[in-house]
Structure 1
Amino acid sequence: MRDLILGTAGHIDHGKTSLIGALTGTNTDRLPEEKKRGITIELGYAFLEIGDYRIGVVDVPGHEKFVRQMLAGATGMDMVLLVIAGDDSVKQQTIEHLDILRLLDLTCGVIALTKCDLCEDSWLELVEDEIRSTVADTFLHDAPIIRTSSKTGMGIDELKQALGDAAGKVAATEVANLESAPFRMAIDRAFSIEGHGTVVTGSVSSGKLSMGDSVEVQPGSIPVRVRGIQNHDSGSEEVHRGQRAAINLGGVKLDEFGRGHELAAVGHLVPSSLLTVRIHLLSSVRKPLKDRTRVRFHVGTAELFGNVRLLGCSEIDPGKSGIAQIWLSEPAVTVWNQPFVIRLESPVMTIGGGRVLHPEAAAIKKATAADLKHVNRMDSESPDERAASAVYLLNDASFDPASFPRVAGAIDFLATYDRLKESGELVETAISQTRSVCMHRDRFELLGAQVVKTLTRLHEANPLRFNHKRNVVENEFAWLKQKELLDAVIEHLKKEKTVFANVQSVSLAGFGPKLSKGQKALLEELLKQLRAAELKPPTAAELQKSATKNKESVPELLEMAAENGDIIKVNSEYYFHAEVFDSAQEKIREAIETGGGMTMSDIRTLIDTSRKWAVPLCEYFDESGFTRREGDLRVLA
């Protein structure tokens, strides 16, 4: 048996609930107010078995005030029963429900013409003509129109046959074959039963769930366990895709969640307040959708407020489509290609909908040509292209290939990841024996260009420096979520000989100090003074004070000479000429290798200096790893 979900749609008081009662024997009006007023306010449920198909029926409200309930009920529908009263014909709410069903991408359904016992055949023929005109450009353009009467039983058997035929068409599509996917069920109702605790209901959209399973409620990552399952009012050990389910949960309180939340396999869904989407505006809408419009966003069973940020355009005309990012008032859980509906905040009316292109993309503040290219590629028929662009749209955030089914609809995620690495579209760089970082090639190249631009600016701002401290460069990229990506890019640029880099500094190839004639003369004089002073050099301040011209350049010239290796900077105060320093260090090495450890007094005597200079020298030897202290002695490190 194949399980499917059938939903009703149509104007208020067109006989949806009565028709479901005639089909199933179940009165789906369950609230006292519903029974008193004779209208459906909340969602109602019934069960119908036709041939090889078990069909869960969701009866939705028809009143315009309850469209949000209708949208919640439409979640998980496989096919629709559009109900139109023969004595009233097509009404405004009929059209809005039909628009919503189109936006939610339903593909199959049946049209029931109700209350036909009250109408003449000639009138019904006119109504049928109007219906055909209304559905001409929709998925119901060739759907059968069945004349029925819930009172007399007219057409009920023919309607069941038509629903069975529609079920056969749906069962042949890919949508109905998601039992092997991770479990997911949008919650359309939550309540508490004394002695049992919290119960949630919904239509299972993918996967299966068994007694005792551990799942989670999202948004919120609330861990829960399955204590009981009912399917169509009967106890069950398991529920799967295409079934209506009531699930008794342990480990959670009723006030922690409700409609708009989802029950899902652990890790399957990730909440996000930012979605990248493609929006289609209904042709019946009078005005274009403008950038920054505030809307009611309906996805799954959730209704949230959101701000639309259009990408690549300032407005979307009626009947047209465009790409956008929607900033939601609260996090939602979605997957790639999931349909949604948008309604105006005021007046409340359905204006369009679309599909989620990326359920957790990074913000795009000013869309570049590359950004637009990759957003549009999320519509590609190729899972590999979608997966690659999904990584690009994450920007520099870390990702797990196991998320490809959720963010790009790429089910065979490991094979997809391997193909993208092999093609070079994804760049993976090892940062340790157990960890690597990965980035889209376009992002990697863009980050490399930003590093070059940053180093160019630093070189131009500091013309006397050969290189720049690595932490200074890293601070320029503090916005990166993964610092390792910067390391990977610098290493790549180093291999290409675009930059020179070590653990302490980074510089751009081809850049170096550009000295004036006076600065060159001053540098030569500074080196001469330090060479003559041997191991008793003047301080940096004394060197600057003794300069007759370009005094302000002395600190930068000393730093430049140290970076170039002409002098050794042992601390902020003292610089030693490199030749003098190397000679002293070699004497110390030979003395320690021959006689063992040396005290500072021994070192001072050996290199003929005083404690004033011997202390900073010995400390530098320790810090640089040349010597190591053992008590009062220094040995070779």
Structure 2
Amino acid sequence: MPEYFLLGVCGHVDHGKSALIKALTGFEGDTSVHEKERGITIDLSFSALKSATRTLGFVDVPGHQDLVFKMVGGSFGLDVGLLVIDANEGLKAQSLEHACTLSFLKIPCVVVLSKTDKCLDLEAQKQSIQASLKPYKLTILALLACSIYDPQSLEDLKNFLLNYPFCKRKQGGDLDRLFRLYIDRVFVLPGRGVAVSGSILGGSIKEHDKVWIAPLNRVVGVKSLHQHAQEIQEAHQHQRVALQLQGVRAEELKMGMLLSTKGYLRAFDCVDAKLLAAPQSLPIQHNQRISLQIGMLKIQAKVLILQYPYVTLVLDQAIFACFGDVGIVSLQQRIWGAAQILNPITDLLKKPIKLDLLKALDRQDLIQAFSILAQAHKKGFGLLSSLQRFALKPTKALEIANQVGGVVVDCQEYVLYPQSTLKSVTHTIASIYQNNPQALLSAKSLAHKHSYISPYLATLAFQTLQDQGKIEEQKGLWVQKGLILEKVQEKLQDKLYALLKQGQFAPQAPYNLYDVLDVDRQMGDRALKALCQAKKVVRLSHNVFLESQALQQVLDLILKLLQEHPSLDIQLLKTHLPLSRKFLIAYLEYLDSLGKTTNLEGKRFLKQGFNNNS
């Protein structure tokens, strides 16, 4: 399969971008009526140049100052930029804005001097342009002169583009494997349905795959893929592609929406970032409003300066940003610079801690970053979101976590705890046995009662208390040292029965009772089952168990009401038995199961032949 590179043709308006693409590919980009009338490229246009070994996709981006937004949006998926500069006019305002965008997105570029047939001193112009571009820290692969009226210069440019050893641009980390595409066009294919197009930022997409429309939180099917007017089976990172979708209407889709794979990304309306200013840009002030653009998504944000250049961006809408993403920052429709996302997931951290975290992330010191986050999250810092947060798969994040000192790493749940949390959990367990010597606990029961405690962390705490001689393990349960498990189990039935009887007509659910008694759920279920078998307790529904005598009192009341009224519904029963619907429905359905009543649209009727004593 020929290698594919996506090239963006950018530069100031009227510097010859569209004419150059037409000369190279035969494709005329300015095809709309408005474009032809104004003589400029208004929208993104696409074409391709192919050889036996290479396909070059061209994105012709607008060069007019009012259309910088579309130029920026068209740049995110590029492998290489073609910065076209009129050899006579030299660098102009939009030339520099485009150079700034390429630089911040780390897109290497080929500088093409156009209209060289009219230039009087080409070498002097080359030197001037190179000197002017130096502050922008562009990676310039070559500087080539070209004129559409000079066939040899066009052939030289074409040969260079088809043979230069370009490299696929990578964001780095495992994000390169996650499919992401910001929609830049939505259109309807006559007789075929809705389609969208864009440049793939990472990963790949195949025909008949499922894609997740992130802002809609909806998964839809991909009926077919198209690339440069041809149907294809698969498209990869930094390739142009059109996706024919099923399961969504065109009016639901908007430019700037993100397509990805479900289960990896979450949206946040605050992100932490590092500001990157363009040459000669003035510093942004605290609380200043900016425009931030990632792909074709452009939103407004307020800048909260932590310590320049580290900031928190308060966004007007939540975005699905990832670690390392670069957003282009604009002020009053002009490019100011960029913001590199360092922390895409909102954390409630104190300012000094957040600054330490951002500095560690900025220098790629993930061991230090993990340590900071673990110490800040006393109830555990999860690694399952590490792809979005650190551009790492959870397995790789776990490898780094195991290098962090002073933490407990749960390799099963992918959670980091500070050592202080283990001490706190150990103290909690010790207090339970001190207040309730008959407690029967397990790692699972403790995790059920306290959601932040994983079974692994609970086991470590139990083992710590065992080492101190306070508790011991018997048949998978932890009991106070010296107690006999069987005797504790015998007493459990009596305690459970007493609580059910105390609850009268509306006792607590079994799991709540187990928590009160500090017993493992499995042991509690066994005790409850034994009480039911002894007919001391009756099960009415999944989580409603009632002491037998209390149940009989309720049934007697219901039958009495049925004798006094033609029918009985929830509202009437509630006036005599002020309980929640959960219990009232359970009582009525239990009576139905005994065959004494008939249920007709929620109303109970006493069957003929039954009375209060039958």
Identify whether the pair has TM-score above 0.5, normalized to the shorter chain. Answer: yes
For the 8 Å contact 2:291–2:329, the answer to whether it is kept is yes
Q: Deviations over 1:554-576 (max 9, x none)?
A: xxxxxxxxxxxxxxxxxxxxxxx
In structure 2, give the amino acid aligned to 1:131: I
1:373 aligned to 351, 356, 363, which one? 356
Note the C-alpha offset of 1:91.
0.7
2:259 aligned to 247, 263, 269, which one? 263
Q: Deviations over 1:91-127 (max 9, x none)?
A: 1111111112111122x2111111122232x2x3332
Partner of 1:111, secondary structure, is: strand
The whole-number CA distance in structure 1 between the counterparts of 2:131 and 2:273 is 31
Note the C-alpha offset of 1:354.
3.0
Q: Does 1:404 align with 2:402?
A: no
Pairwise mapping of residues 473-484 of structure 1 onto structure 2 (< 5 A)?
Answer: 483-484=452-453
Distance 1:111 1:630, change over 3 A: closer
Q: Does 1:290 align with 2:317?
A: no
Q: Deviations over 1:410-464 (max 9, x none)?
A: 24x325415524755653469xxxx8582353xx648989999xxxxxxxxxxxx
* Aligned twin of 1:568: none
For the 8 Å contact 1:387–1:407, the answer to whether it is kept is no
* Aligned twin of 2:605: none
Note the C-alpha offset of 1:24.
1.1
* Aligned twin of 2:477: none
Runs (4+) of structure 1 exceeding 6 A deviation are 176-180, 390-395, 446-452, 485-491, 623-626, 628-634
For the 8 Å contact 1:201–1:244, the answer to whether it is kept is yes
In structure 1, give the amino acid aligned to 2:326: P
Q: Deviations over 1:235-264 (max 9, x none)?
A: 112222232101100001112222211221
Note the C-alpha offset of 1:208.
1.8
Partner of 1:371, secondary structure, is: helix
Partner of 2:362, secondary structure, is: coil
For the 8 Å contact 1:11–1:62, the answer to whether it is kept is yes
Pairwise mapping of residues 177-256 of structure 1 onto structure 2 (< 5 A)?
Answer: 181-256=177-252
Note the C-alpha offset of 1:283.
3.3
Partner of 2:78, secondary structure, is: coil
Distance 1:117 1:202, change over 3 A: same
* Aligned twin of 1:276: 272
In structure 2, give the amino acid aligned to 1:337: G
Partner of 2:225, secondary structure, is: strand
* Aligned twin of 2:45: 44
For the 8 Å contact 1:178–1:206, the answer to whether it is kept is no
* Aligned twin of 1:327: 314
For the 8 Å contact 1:178–1:241, the answer to whether it is kept is no
2:342 aligned to 335, 357, 362, which one? 357
Q: Does 1:125 align with 2:108?
A: no
Note the C-alpha offset of 1:294.
1.3
Aligned length: 468
The whole-number CA distance in structure 2 between the counterparts of 1:396 and 1:188 is 41
Q: Does 1:71 align with 2:72?
A: yes
Distance 1:76 1:363, change over 3 A: farther
Pairwise mapping of residues 620-635 of structure 1 onto structure 2 (< 5 A)?
Answer: none
2:142 aligned to 121, 126, 144, which one? 144
Q: Which consecutive unaligned segments of at least 5 residues does structure 2 have? A: 428-433, 436-449, 472-486, 492-497, 499-515, 520-526, 538-546, 549-614
The whole-number CA distance in structure 2 between the counterparts of 1:134 and 1:180 is 33
Distance 1:445 1:367, change over 3 A: farther
Q: Deviations over 1:300-321 (max 9, x none)?
A: 221001111222x2xx4xxxxx
Pairwise mapping of residues 584-623 of structure 1 onto structure 2 (< 5 A)?
Answer: none
In structure 1, give the amino acid aligned to 2:390: A
In structure 1, give the amino acid aligned to 2:398: Y
For the 8 Å contact 2:373–2:381, the answer to whether it is kept is no
Distance 1:242 1:113, change over 3 A: same
The whole-number CA distance in structure 2 between the counterparts of 1:55 and 1:87 is 28
For the 8 Å contact 2:5–2:55, the answer to whether it is kept is yes
In structure 1, give the amino acid aligned to 2:279: S
* Aligned twin of 1:34: 35
Distance 1:44 1:338, change over 3 A: same
Note the C-alpha offset of 1:227.
0.7
For the 8 Å contact 2:371–2:405, the answer to whether it is kept is no
* Aligned twin of 1:463: none
Q: Does 1:9 align with 2:5?
A: no
Note the C-alpha offset of 1:338.
1.3
Distance 1:155 1:293, change over 3 A: same
Distance 1:178 1:34, change over 3 A: farther
The whole-number CA distance in structure 2 between the counterparts of 1:309 and 1:486 is 40
Distance 1:356 1:179, change over 3 A: closer
* Aligned twin of 1:300: 295
The whole-number CA distance in structure 2 between the counterparts of 1:118 and 1:292 is 49
* Aligned twin of 2:110: 110
Note the C-alpha offset of 1:213.
0.9
* Aligned twin of 1:54: 55
Partner of 1:34, secondary structure, is: helix
Q: Does 1:438 align with 2:415?
A: yes
For the 8 Å contact 1:336–1:356, the answer to whether it is kept is yes
For the 8 Å contact 1:358–1:390, the answer to whether it is kept is no
1:310 aligned to 305, 309, 315, which one? 305
Identity among equivalent pairs (%): 23
Distance 1:10 1:416, change over 3 A: same
* Aligned twin of 2:98: 97
* Aligned twin of 1:153: 151
The whole-number CA distance in structure 2 between the counterparts of 1:28 and 1:140 is 27
The whole-number CA distance in structure 1 between the counterparts of 2:292 and 2:422 is 35
The whole-number CA distance in structure 2 between the counterparts of 1:158 and 1:38 is 27
The whole-number CA distance in structure 2 between the counterparts of 1:425 and 1:220 is 41
Pairwise mapping of residues 435-584 of structure 1 onto structure 2 (< 5 A)?
Answer: 436=413, 438-441=415-418, 445=420, 483-484=452-453
Partner of 1:331, secondary structure, is: strand
Note the C-alpha offset of 1:5.
0.9
* Aligned twin of 1:551: none
* Aligned twin of 2:442: none
In structure 2, give the amino acid aligned to 1:310: I
The whole-number CA distance in structure 1 between the counterparts of 2:47 and 2:378 is 46
Q: Does 1:348 align with 2:333?
A: yes
For the 8 Å contact 1:387–1:410, the answer to whether it is kept is no
Q: Which consecutive unaligned segments of at least 5 residues does structure 1 have? A: 317-321, 453-465, 468-480, 503-588, 594-599, 601-622
The whole-number CA distance in structure 1 between the counterparts of 2:92 and 2:188 is 38
The whole-number CA distance in structure 2 between the counterparts of 1:447 and 1:272 is 30
Q: Could you tell me the TM-score, scaled by structure 2's length?
A: 0.66
Q: Deviations over 1:524-565 (max 9, x none)?
A: xxxxxxxxxxxxxxxxxxxxxxxxxxxxxxxxxxxxxxxxxx
In structure 2, give the amino acid aligned to 1:417: L
Q: Deviations over 1:37-68 (max 9, x none)?
A: 11011111111125632111111001111111
Distance 1:194 1:17, change over 3 A: same
For the 8 Å contact 2:136–2:278, the answer to whether it is kept is no
* Aligned twin of 1:471: none
The whole-number CA distance in structure 2 between the counterparts of 1:51 and 1:393 is 56
The Cα RMSD (Å) is 4.3
